[in-house]
Amino acid sequence: MKNEAFLISDTDLDHALERFKNVKKGELLIGRKIDANDPLVKDGKALTKTIKETFQVLAPVYRSSMTIY
């Protein structure tokens, strides 16, 4: 299976969130994709900063999703 990432429209997001809420095995993966060839990967401090920022942004979303179950 190839890892694919794509942007979705607001309509697609609404549909995905509704499915995540209503389908027992529904999944929703959100995050930041960093290509292996991205110069950020070679800069340890910048990469660590980006990872921490991503967690800070996504942690509230993750916590909110847990209230569904």
Instruction: Supply the pLDDT for residue 29.
Output: 79
SS3 20: helix
**Confidence band, pLDDT 50/70/90 cuts, at residue 55:** very high
Q: Please indicate, yes or no, if residue 3 is contained in any of the structural domains.
A: no
Structural domain containing residue 41? 10-66
Residue 1 has pLDDT above 60, yes or no: no
Higher pLDDT, 47 or 32: 47
Higher pLDDT, 50 or 65: 50
Q: Please indicate, yes or no, if residue 49 is contained in any of the structural domains.
A: yes
Higher pLDDT, 42 or 67: 42
- Report the greatest alpha carbon distance in the chain: 41
User: Across all residues in the chain, what is the average pLDDT?
Assistant: 84
Instruction: Supply the pLDDT for residue 57.
Output: 93
- Quote the number of domains for the chain: 1
